[in-house]
Amino acid sequence: MIRLTEKQLREYVVNEFLKWEGYNKTNGGHTKIVNLYNSLSPLPSGYSLKKSDAWCQATIGALAKQLKLEKALLPECSCNRAIALYKKAKRWEENDSYVPSIGDLVYYDWQDSGVGDNKGVADHVGMVVSVTGKTSFTVLEGNYSNSVKKRTMKVNGRYIRGFALPDYKTAAKTYKITTSTNTNTSTNNKVNTSNKLKITGCSCYLPQLKRGHMDDSVKVLQTILNYLGYNCGNIDGSFGLETDTAVKKYQKAHGLSVDGIVGKDTWKALIYGKK
């Protein structure tokens, strides 16, 4: 069990949500979301979600249920009732020009004229999964064209109703996740040897790492990347967006497959210190 910082918790939530990308009504993803939402207890507003209902806000509620973060990601299946909950908790940002952080929720009003600060009725919601400076951000949304799908928005862009700010800081004080130091093991607990490398006359086992991993092996990776000049931010053991970006930059610079996955070839280049 490991304790997360607020930043790590935000990354963890986003990474778990990204696993739902592509969920729809034909591949079973939508059914999973509906069932997760309806397993909330008590059921928000006493309403059981039907498969014919709009399900953007319920997707957030289902994620909260799966991750046991109901006190941060306040569950509801109505966008406007959810906004009321965040306002009551003083976790609402009315300013459309707010620059969000990953894990924040953005609400939309499709009737927005684009003039002034939008205070209309919300129609849709999604979670911010990446931010580009102070200009744009990417959102992952349930019920976007009947799927869990990404959308890119400009900061202070048209249709933004406002932002809900889940209280990850408080949640992180007690939230723990179960993780394994070796993230590349098989079901029978034997180490996967696909990443076994010969280094200066000895053998070692290296785990395959990718976005979402959190353990000491990620700290080793981050230390090497920072040393080689590929900045991945703080050495915190969390393979988040900054580390993913640094890995891809390194892979591109060294003619490796640019997939963000630290496997045998990437580890070999890193350990031999190729700048």
Instruction: Examine the fold and report which residue of 122, 149, 172 is the final residue of a domain before the chain moves on.
Output: 172
Residues 153 and 204 reside in one and the same domain:
no
Instruction: Say if residue 79's pLDDT is above 90.
Output: yes
Instruction: Say if residue 179's pLDDT is above 90.
Output: no
Residue 221 CB contacts under 8 Å (≥ 6 apart), including other chains: 209, 239, 243, 247, 262, 270
CA–centroid distance for 236 within its chain = 17
> Before 207, cis peptide (omega within 30)?
no
Average pLDDT over every residue of 168-174: 96
Residues 65 and 200 reside in one and the same domain:
no
Residues 95 and 227 reside in one and the same domain:
no
Q: Could you tell me if 170 and 164 are in contact, meaning their C-beta atoms sit under 8 angstroms apart?
A: no
pLDDT-derived band at 1, boundaries 50, 70, 90: low
Residues 124 and 204 reside in one and the same domain:
no
Residues 139 and 201 reside in one and the same domain:
no
Number of structural domains found in the chain: 2
Token pair recorded at residue 243 = 């580390």
Instruction: Give the domain range for residue 233.
Output: 179-271
Closest CA to 228 of 266, 172, 185, 178: 266
Residues 65 and 189 reside in one and the same domain:
no
Q: Could you tell me if 186 and 193 are in contact, meaning their C-beta atoms sit under 8 angstroms apart?
A: no
pLDDT of amino acid 185:
35
Residues 230 and 162 reside in one and the same domain:
no
Residues 41 and 57 reside in one and the same domain:
yes
Average pLDDT over every residue of 197-201: 53
Instruction: Say if residue 205's pLDDT is above 90.
Output: no
Query: pLDDT per residue over 38-69, tens digit each?
Result: 999 999 999 999 999 999 999 999 999 999 99
Instruction: Say if residue 201's pLDDT is above 60.
Output: no
Average pLDDT over every residue of 180-189: 38
Parallel/antiparallel/unpaired status of strands 92-93 and 160-164: antiparallel
Proportion of the chain above pLDDT 90, given as a percent:
74
Instruction: Examine the fold and report which residue of 141, 172, 203 is the final residue of a domain before the chain moves on.
Output: 172
CATH number of the domain bearing residue 51: 3.90.1720
Residues 134 and 82 reside in one and the same domain:
yes
CATH number of the domain bearing residue 187: 1.10.101.10
pLDDT-derived band at 198, boundaries 50, 70, 90: low
**Higher-pLDDT residue of 4, 49:** 49
Instruction: Examine the fold and report which residue of 140, 155, 172 is the final residue of a domain before the chain moves on.
Output: 172
Residues 20 and 42 reside in one and the same domain:
yes
Residues 156 and 218 reside in one and the same domain:
no
Residues 92 and 163 reside in one and the same domain:
yes
